[in-house]
Amino acid sequence: MSAPANELQAAVFAALAGDAALVAMLGGARIHDHAPADVAFPYITFGRTSVYDWSTGTESGTEQLFTLHVWSKAKGKKEALDIMEAAKARLHDQSLPLAGRTLVNCRMEFAEARHDDDLSVYHGLLRFRAVVEENA
pLDDT tens string 78-103: 999 999 999 999 999 999 999 889 99
Residue 14 lies in a domain: yes
Output the pTM of the full model. 0.94
Other CB atoms closer than 10 Å to residue 61's CB: what's the count?
18
Residues in the chain: 136
**In this predicted structure, what is the pLDDT of residue 114?**
96
% of the chain at pLDDT higher than 70 = 99
Residue 70 lies in a domain: no
pLDDT at 1 over 80: no
Q: Which domain, by its residues, includes 56?
A: 4-62+75-115+124-134
Pairing of strands 61-72, 121-134: antiparallel
How many Å apart are CA 53 and CA 24, to the nearest integer?
A: 37
**In this predicted structure, what is the pLDDT of residue 110?**
96
**In this predicted structure, what is the pLDDT of residue 43?**
98
**In this predicted structure, what is the pLDDT of residue 54?**
84
Q: What is the domain-level CATH number for residue 48?
A: 3.30.2000
| Total domain count, the chain | 1
Q: What is the mean pLDDT of residues 11-27?
A: 98
> Could you report the per-residue pLDDT of 50-63, keeping only the tens digit for each?
999 988 888 889 99
Average pLDDT score over the chain: 94
**In this predicted structure, what is the pLDDT of residue 62?**
92
State which H helix or E strand residue 115 sits in.
strand 101-116
Residue 69 lies in a domain: no
In which region does residue 50 sit, left (phi positive, over 0), alpha (psi from -120 to 50) or beta (all else)?
A: beta
